[in-house]
């Protein structure tokens, strides 16, 4: 067997959840193009699709949405954990800590046993709903607790995206802001077997509790090579400073072989379809408000300048290039961008966890050993 760094191109599982064609810029959830879902679906409906395999009927969606709304509150013990965390700690570390603790306050992990019986469908479905419901609440709670304020309680009369923005900003968002956040959650909900999803599969294969499965994925997403690039895009655009400096900045950046954040993707060889949707939402928001941050004009100029230099190499804007701009326009602090990614991707992680349970086998890859041959132990007195 050949050693392949990063397991690139090595099938790690069989899945019916999502499909990606990087040559043609196609991403589907259960066969439905992401372009259609982002424009016509909601996060609740898309999450149901990912978890259950089909789009819900009216009654099914109402029941699922109702369960999500009823499970938004978290135990006061979880809030107490937050109050003891350093206020300057990264929100992803908070999120992983609190999600890892959920199993202690919401019993049921004892059903993940190795006796062959496996958890019941009711346990799997109800647990998935509880975790998915809690994610947005935890992220929004931390935004206020780290400032020394009481968190804003969730509201059951608001949809998932609208309630999250309400809890973050202490005001009801306007309909366009809600639709933008909803679309962002749909776009980030699933993306085949990426690093964090693979971490979830490995953890899940041991029959660990589902909250620990999600916590392991959060820890993986927190790495700078996976989540967080949209925050670096904004810092990069600020460093450029103005539209008239874009060409010179790009020339210097490429000449010194530095990263142009938000460009390129291991899978896509054309523009990420999600980036097109996000850019369209920015245009809608600008028309609605009359203006946006000057960083958006710098971003558009950078994309245009990069087209001649990078497009022939198959390097185009990815989902991170425009998502941070949108989040900032919605009043989201930059260090909360990756936690929002985690809120959304939890739907995909849990869908893969649920799928794997149906035919589980613990992951146990091999290695290519490069160490010394077998040798004898040398006593300390003979080592010099």
Catalytic residues: 265, 320
**CB-CB contact of 151 with 89 (8 Å):** no
**CB-CB contact of 352 with 17 (8 Å):** yes
Closest CA to 45 of 214, 153, 161: 161
Neighbouring CB atoms inside 10 A of 284's CB total 13
- Cβ neighbourhood burial of 282 (10 Å; 0-12, 13-18, 19+): buried
CA atoms within 13 A on the CB side of 167: 28
Closest CA to 120 of 109, 111, 129: 111
CA geometry: angle at 217 spanning 216 and 219, to 5°? 65
If you write DSSP's letter for every residue of 128-195 in order, what string do you get? HHHHHHHHHHHHHHHHHHTTT-PPPPP-TTS-HHHHHHHHHHSSPPPHHHHHHHHHHHHHTS--SS-H
The position carrying tokens 């613990």 is 362
3-state helix, strand, coil in the chain (%, to 5): 60, 5, 35
Alpha-carbon span 246 to 237, nearest angstrom: 9
**CB-CB contact of 12 with 198 (8 Å):** yes
CA atoms within 13 A on the CB side of 175: 0
- Cβ neighbourhood burial of 32 (10 Å; 0-12, 13-18, 19+): middle
């Amino acid at each position: 067997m050949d050693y392949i760094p990063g397991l690139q191109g090595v099938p790690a599982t069989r899945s019916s959840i999502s499909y990606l064609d990087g040559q043609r810029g196609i991403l589907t959830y259960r066969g439905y193009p992401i372009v259609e879902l982002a424009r016509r679906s909601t996060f609740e409906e898309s999450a149901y699709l990912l978890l259950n395999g089909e789009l819900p009927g009216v009654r099914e969606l109402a029941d699922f949405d109702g369960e999500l709304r009823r499970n938004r509150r978290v135990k006061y013990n979880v809030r107490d954990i937050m109050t003891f965390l350093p206020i300057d700690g990264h929100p992803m570390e908070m999120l992983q800590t609190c999600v890892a603790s959920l199993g202690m306050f919401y019993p049921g992990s004892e059903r993940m046993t190795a006796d062959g019986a496996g958890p019941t469908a009711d346990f799997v479905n109800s647990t998935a709903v509880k975790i998915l419901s809690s994610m947005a609440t935890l992220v929004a709670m931390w935004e206020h607790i780290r400032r020394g304020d009481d968190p804003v309680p969730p509201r059951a009369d608001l949809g998932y995206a609208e309630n999250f923005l309400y809890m973050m900003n202490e005001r009801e968002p306007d309909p366009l802001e809600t639709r933008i956040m909803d679309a962002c959650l749909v776009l980030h909900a699933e993306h085949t077997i990426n690093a964090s999803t693979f971490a979830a599969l490995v953890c899940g294969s041991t029959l660990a509790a589902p909250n620990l499965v999600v916590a392991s994925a959060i820890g993986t997403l927190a790495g700078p090579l996976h989540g967080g690039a949209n925050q670096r895009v904004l810092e990069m655009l600020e460093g450029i400073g103005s539209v008239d400096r874009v060409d010179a900045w790009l020339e210097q950046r490429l000449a010194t072989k530095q990263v142009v954040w938000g460009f390129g993707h291991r899978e896509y060889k054309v523009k990420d379809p999600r980036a097109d949707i996000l850019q369209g939402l920015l245009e809608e928001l600008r028309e609605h408000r009359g203006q946006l941050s000057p960083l958006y004009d710098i971003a558009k100029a950078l994309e245009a300048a990069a087209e001649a230099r990078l497009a022939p190499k198959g390097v185009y804007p990815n989902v991170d290039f425009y998502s941070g701009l949108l989040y900032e326009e919605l009043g989201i602090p930059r260090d909360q961008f990756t936690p929002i990614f985690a809120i959304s991707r939890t739907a995909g992680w849990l869908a893969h966890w649920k799928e794997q349970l149906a035919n589980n086998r613990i992951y146990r890859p091999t290695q290519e050993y490069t160490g010394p041959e077998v040798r004898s132990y040398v006593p300390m007195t003979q080592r010099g």
